[in-house]
Chains A and B, each alone.
Chain A
Amino acid sequence: MIHLLRGAFVIARRDFAATVLSKAFIFFLLGPIFPLLLGGVFGGIGARVASQTEQPVVAVVSSAQDYSLISASRQRIADTMPDSMVVQIAHYAPEPDLAAQQKKLLASRSPPVRAVLTGGLADPHLTGSVRSDAQAVAQLRLILADAKAAPAEPPELPVTATATSSGSVAKDRALTGQIGQMLLFFLTLLLSGMVMSQLIEEKSNKIIEVIAAAVPIDSLFIGKLFAMLAASVAGIVVWISAGALLIQLINTGGLRNLPDPAVGWPAFLALGVVYFAMNYLLLGSIFLMIGAQASTVREVQTLSMPATFAQVIVFGFAATAVAQPNSTEALVAAVFPLSSPLVMLARAAQQSELWPHAVALAWQAVWVFFILRLGAKLFRRTVLKSGPRAKWWKFSRA
């Protein structure tokens, strides 16, 4: 055992140094900036495109008086939600040939007309490419009903503002959980891919045989996994520190303004690192096993694709737990080892109890132990295999 751990340490030390002291690690640290920049650039472009694109409207062919009531009613609804979510309307005075006017309006491109409302408030009729159960039609019904009714002053509603409420906190915490899950998922997937690529490089360098002759091959497996884990934890610490500093600088009130996760920030961040470690060790082991089977990058890509897809499905499964953390689905996702770290991190954002995390971490540790052992065993059997490959149905005898 000491021999194994010592060998793993030697390999982990080399891999860690090679990773952290390489120029590529600077790009790795700068990695999160690129999606933020791209998001900003494309978000800005999208917003400009959206604002410049003319929204389709419902042409209201009516008297000016009717339109005034309809427009006021629409405005009352628009006051309760973003204006872009309320059906857009435009007024047209009736022409002698109503049918021809209707036809002309439906063919109009400036503004693009979605439907034409005729008959005013007395006998409204909608013509156009809309279904009767469409959201826009439902909104128009409300608008017309409100416009027909005698306008009444809304009752006074005195408001006493509090910093938080259960509703707002739950929403914010769910968002924190979702973001945490997403970061955990993408980071783990990225690093698992990286550790697998390193293994392939090692196999192509032929250094693997020198290592295998000196230390148990399990040492290589464990050393590589933990070296990348250590490098990524170093990266996470840098990202968290940089992120906190940035928020402190640009947000009035700094970190205090962020919605607190249910377990509090220190515990949440600590759990985030531990769950990341668990998730990475589970997924990284699987990817290393895949890497051991492959000898070229092309083979790796082919072999890792099913594992990546499976992980995306697991992520989707875990994401359902955010909405209802105490549901049966969430419990199943928390028990399933590959989704457990993702689910539990989201839970840490939403629920304040710490004991479920102790149980989950113990459960995940058991699985990490078994998967590491299985991974190391398969890795040992296949990583240096030369000659024809054993058939998969004979794998147990290999």
Chain B
Amino acid sequence: MLQHVSNSVAAAGLAVEAVDLVKDFGDTRAVDGVSLAVPTGSIYGLLGPNGAGKTTTLRMLLGIIDPSSGTRRVLGRDRPLDAAREIGYLPEERGLYPSMYARDAIAFMGALRGLSLAEGRRRADVLLAEHGLGDWSRKSIRSLSKGMAQLVQLLGTIIHKPRLIVLDEPFAGLDAINQGRLEELIRREARAGVTIIFSTHVIAHAERLCEHIAIIASGQVAFDGSVAEARGRLRPIVRLRTRASEGPWRSAIPEGARVEAGEWVFELPKGGPEPLLRALLDGGAGIETLAIERPGLHDAFVAIAGNKAAAAMGATGNGQ
């Protein structure tokens, strides 16, 4: 069956395809039938609250753990480890040998992916210099700041020029400046044709970077598609401020509308903006301000994954 799927994968230009992945840990089902299709050359976001099954899904995609059932194909190979030399992976929990020099740590990660140690060291020196860490090349990891160590590990992830980069919560623990640098690095790699999958519980990053997203909640994929498609599931939001508080215009306000800071907030009625505008004007609303906003990814996430999942994302402190 996977052979048929793989043909379709190749035809569709997918870097990664997973079909009905399931992972059980004892009696607990961590991932429950996840299917994904990651287009080649895209930036693909895996969104979901902590414990949703993102890391387990990524680990299965990379061959770190085997699924209890289901199939996956990565860069055209059935066994992900066969494609390991073309994959770069930054795990959620960062790990480096504290006593290693920065350049050796990067070269070691390259060696794991088939790069010779000498070539790895040469590339490491170049990368470290490019990212402002040239002076730290021969300093031990334990002497680096947390942000620097994270950058070193990220450089180790791309040292072997992979075709697929998998980043598990890459922004966690980084300050705003380093988050910006990381976003730029991701964009640069994507421009070079590299497929990037990253998991995050910070919707803002996904909104800025991703072309495609999958929303995972409780071990299942609640949505898989483009960001535009996700947003398209919601109607635009109307924000209206009027001079009149009562009048015939009120009949144009749909049920479920709420008032926020003196403004009416409601979904744009199906008829579109013209009938709404006409009804407001004819009804004597006295429009002070009227804005029709495209819904954000967060709104789409709430609508797709549910309020509980959204609350969990928010509870992590970076919900927006």
Please list the residues of chain A having a beta carbon within 8 angstroms of any beta carbon in chain B. 3, 6-7, 10, 13-14, 18, 22, 205-217, 384-391, 394, 398
Q: Is the Cβ of B91 less than 8 Å from the Cβ of A390? A: no
Beta-carbon contacts of B137-176 to A below 8 Å, as 1s and 0s?
A: 0000000000000000100100000000010000000000
Q: Is the Cβ of B95 less than 8 Å from the Cβ of A394? A: no
Min CB gap B40→A, angstroms: 20
Complex contacts, A217 vs chain B, CB 8 Å: 64
Q: Which of chain B's residues 75-100 have a Cβ closer than 8 Å to chain A?
A: 81-82, 84, 87, 89, 91, 93-100
Complex contacts, A388 vs chain B, CB 8 Å: 25-28
Known contacts A10-B112, A388-B28, A394-B26; is A205 also within 8 Å of B98 by CB?
yes
Complex contacts, B99 vs chain A, CB 8 Å: 18, 22
Q: Which of B55-63, B205-213, B303-311 forms part of the interface with chain A?
A: B55-63
A386 in complex: contacting residue of B56, B63, B89, CB < 8 Å: B56
Q: Is the Cβ of A213 less than 8 Å from the Cβ of B64? A: yes
A-B contact pairs, 21 of them (CB 8 A): A3-B82, A14-B108, A18-B100, A205-B97, A206-B94, A207-B97, A209-B93, A210-B95, A213-B62, A213-B64, A213-B89, A214-B84, A214-B112, A215-B112, A384-B59, A385-B25, A386-B25, A387-B25, A389-B26, A391-B26, A398-B26
A210 in complex: contacting residue of B81, B82, B91, CB < 8 Å: B91
Complex contacts, B117 vs chain A, CB 8 Å: 13
Complex contacts, B28 vs chain A, CB 8 Å: 387-388
B91 in complex: contacting residue of A22, A209, A385, CB < 8 Å: A209
Q: Is the Cβ of A215 less than 8 Å from the Cβ of B97? A: no
Complex contacts, A213 vs chain B, CB 8 Å: 59, 62-64, 84, 87, 89, 91, 166
In the assembled complex, the Cα of A22 lies from the Cα of B166 at a distance in Å of: 33
Complex contacts, B81 vs chain A, CB 8 Å: 3, 215-216
Complex contacts, B153 vs chain A, CB 8 Å: 210
Q: Given known contacts A6-B114, A213-B63, A387-B25, what 18 new A-B pairs fall within 8 Å (CB)?
A: A3-B81, A3-B82, A10-B111, A14-B108, A18-B97, A206-B95, A207-B95, A207-B97, A210-B156, A213-B62, A214-B84, A215-B112, A384-B59, A384-B65, A386-B30, A388-B25, A388-B27, A389-B26
Most buried by A among B30, B63, B111, B117: B111
Beta-carbon contacts of B98-113 to A below 8 Å, as 1s and 0s?
A: 1110000000110111
In the assembled complex, the Cα of A207 lies from the Cα of B113 at a distance in Å of: 14
Interface pairs A-B: 10 shortest CB-CB = A206-B95, A387-B25, A207-B95, A214-B112, A206-B93, A213-B89, A209-B91, A390-B26, A388-B26, A212-B64
Complex contacts, A7 vs chain B, CB 8 Å: 112
In the assembled complex, the Cα of A120 lies from the Cα of B98 at a distance in Å of: 81
Q: Which residue of A lies closest to B98 (CB)?
A: A205
Q: Is the Cβ of B96 less than 8 Å from the Cβ of A205? A: yes
Complex contacts, B63 vs chain A, CB 8 Å: 213
Q: Which residue of A lies closest to B105 (CB)?
A: A207
Q: Is the Cβ of B113 less than 8 Å from the Cβ of A387? A: no
Q: Which residue of B lies closest to A390 (CB)?
A: B26
In the assembled complex, the Cα of A6 lies from the Cα of B117 at a distance in Å of: 13
Beta-carbon contacts of B105-130 to A below 8 Å, as 1s and 0s?
A: 00011011110010000000000000
Min CB gap B34→A, angstroms: 16
Complex contacts, A18 vs chain B, CB 8 Å: 97, 99-100
Q: Is the Cβ of B25 less than 8 Å from the Cβ of A390? A: yes
In the assembled complex, the Cα of A244 lies from the Cα of B166 at a distance in Å of: 55
In the assembled complex, the Cα of A205 lies from the Cα of B81 at a distance in Å of: 22
In the assembled complex, the Cα of A3 lies from the Cα of B113 at a distance in Å of: 10
In the assembled complex, the Cα of A390 lies from the Cα of B108 at a distance in Å of: 33
Complex contacts, B82 vs chain A, CB 8 Å: 3
In the assembled complex, the Cα of A10 lies from the Cα of B27 at a distance in Å of: 36
Known contacts A215-B112, A389-B26; is A208 also within 8 Å of B89 by CB?
no
Q: Is the Cβ of B91 less than 8 Å from the Cβ of A206? A: yes
Q: Is the Cβ of A214 less than 8 Å from the Cβ of B25? A: no
Min CB gap B282→A, angstroms: 61
In the assembled complex, the Cα of A212 lies from the Cα of B117 at a distance in Å of: 19
In the assembled complex, the Cα of A22 lies from the Cα of B98 at a distance in Å of: 13
Q: Is the Cβ of B93 less than 8 Å from the Cβ of A384? A: no
A208 in complex: contacting residue of B27, B95, B113, CB < 8 Å: B95
Q: Is the Cβ of B89 less than 8 Å from the Cβ of A214? A: yes
Complex contacts, A214 vs chain B, CB 8 Å: 84, 89, 109, 112-113
Q: Which of chain B's residues 287-309 have a Cβ closer than 8 Å to chain A?
A: none
In the assembled complex, the Cα of A387 lies from the Cα of B219 at a distance in Å of: 13
Complex contacts, A212 vs chain B, CB 8 Å: 64
In the assembled complex, the Cα of A267 lies from the Cα of B95 at a distance in Å of: 45
Complex contacts, A6 vs chain B, CB 8 Å: 114
Most buried by A among B82, B89, B166: B89
Complex contacts, B27 vs chain A, CB 8 Å: 388
Min CB gap A365→B, angstroms: 27
Min CB gap B271→A, angstroms: 50
Min CB gap A9→B, angstroms: 9
B26 in complex: contacting residue of A10, A207, A387, CB < 8 Å: A387
In the assembled complex, the Cα of A25 lies from the Cα of B72 at a distance in Å of: 44
In the assembled complex, the Cα of A232 lies from the Cα of B66 at a distance in Å of: 34
Q: Which residue of B lies closest to A219 (CB)?
A: B112
Min CB gap B126→A, angstroms: 21
Complex contacts, B96 vs chain A, CB 8 Å: 205, 207
Min CB gap B155→A, angstroms: 13
In the assembled complex, the Cα of A13 lies from the Cα of B100 at a distance in Å of: 13
